[in-house]
Structure 1
Amino acid sequence: MSFTSKTVAIAIALSTALPAFAEGIMVHDAYARAARPGAPTGAAFMQIMNHSSEDDRLLSVASEVAKRVELHTHKDLGEGVMKMMEIEEGLAIPAGGKHGLARGGDHVMFMGLNQDFVQGESVEITLTFEKAGDVVVQVPIDLERQDHGGMEHGDKAHKHKDH
């Protein structure tokens, strides 16, 4: 690999690792994953921080990577059964506060993936906020990451009902 190719590759890697920021909203530590190659669904996780003096609300999310993209959460139905469901009212991001999208909790859900998620590549998503407007984020694909707590979609300890 030539010096120029290495420089371009490093610049691309750094640009996807940097947080997205617009109108007081900052997105940090974002990553996306799918359970396996050819999976019909995937998810994205991140920390959303509101550095403004006004509460805001994440209303929706969009991406070309899937036929449908929604804000999702898990609801405990009891007896160890969890159901994933859309968060239609959006997510409140308090002034000076943050909201985490994490495995086992609130997250971005990609349904009907148009492409496989490939380790090290990225997907572009647009987060639409009530006050801050659209925030475009390049989300790195990390199929190996094990953090962000909670249950994983494939965790055998939990049963999921179809959504």
Structure 2
Amino acid sequence: MSAFIRASALSFLRRTHAAGFLAATFLSLFAFVSLASAHEFKAGDLVIQHPWSRAAPAGAKVAGGYFVVRNDGSEPDRLLAVTAEIAGRTEIHEMSVDDKGVMTMRPLGGALEIPAGGALELKPGSIHLMFMDLQSLPQADERFAGTLTFEKAGEVAIEFKVEAIGAAMKHGENGSKMKMD
């Protein structure tokens, strides 16, 4: 009887150990995926959240870039410049719709302010980045390096995650009725 109890206890311990190992592995994987999807970068009081771009079709000469900059500080900061490893140059653009429904895109001159305790959102159909003279085409599920230059926070290295071509597209953002200045 004693040998049977010992064998049962040993079998129970092995199963418990295996279950514990599987649970720990699952929790570690979940934590890793959560951290990977968080995709934010911090510089002083600024938090840059989820920099992303869309995959570009073959032959594309430009691509867009988007992110949110949150300022947790008590002083405003300003985004002065952006560079990206895939582009010969990067510009900040703004899209607007006139009273006839014609969408216009134009480069913005100067810096963009991130208010104290506020945020600046670069998004499709609004203020966004234009990666010009593409050196390589962004492909879905890839990442590429970029640098944001702020007046106070200085240079911040970030990484853009490339989403599928239709990612976060809003109604009417298909290029129809669009005029570029």
TM-score of the superposed pair, with normalisation by structure 1: 0.81
Structure 1 residues 70 and 141 mapped into 2: Cα distance closer, same or farther (>3 Å)? same
Aligned to 1:79: 100
Question: Who is 1:116 aligned against?
Answer: 137
SS in 2 for 1:31: strand
Q: Show the counterpart of 2:57.
A: 36
Alignment of 1:8-157 (within 5 A): 17-144=38-165, 146-147=167-168, 149=170, 151-152=172-173, 154-156=174-176
- Return 33-42 or 85-94, whichever deviates more: 33-42
The aligned amino acid for 2:79 is L
Bigger RCO of structures 1 and 2 (CA < 8 A, at least 6 apart): 1
RMSD: 2.6
Aligned residues: 152
Cα separation, 2, equivalents of 1:51 and 1:17: 17
Q: Which has the higher strand share?
A: 1
Where in structure 1 are there 5+ consecutive unaligned residues? 1-10
Separation in 2 of the partners of 1:84 and 1:146? 20
Does structure 2 retain, via aligned residues, the 8 Å contact 1:76–1:83? yes
Alpha-carbon deviations, 1:71-94, whole Å to 9, x = none? 111133431212211111221100
Gaps of 5+ in 2: 1-31
**Could you say if the C-alpha distance between residues 69 and 76 of structure 1 is closer, same or farther in structure 2, counting changes exceeding 3 Å?**
same
1:3 paired residue number: none
Instruction: Decide which moves more: 141-150 or 21-30.
Output: 141-150
Report runs of 4+ in structure 1 exceeding 2 Å deviation.
13-18, 75-78, 144-152
Please say which structure displays the higher CA radius of gyration.
Answer: 2
**Greater fraction helix:** 2
Question: Matched residue of 1:21: which SS?
Answer: strand
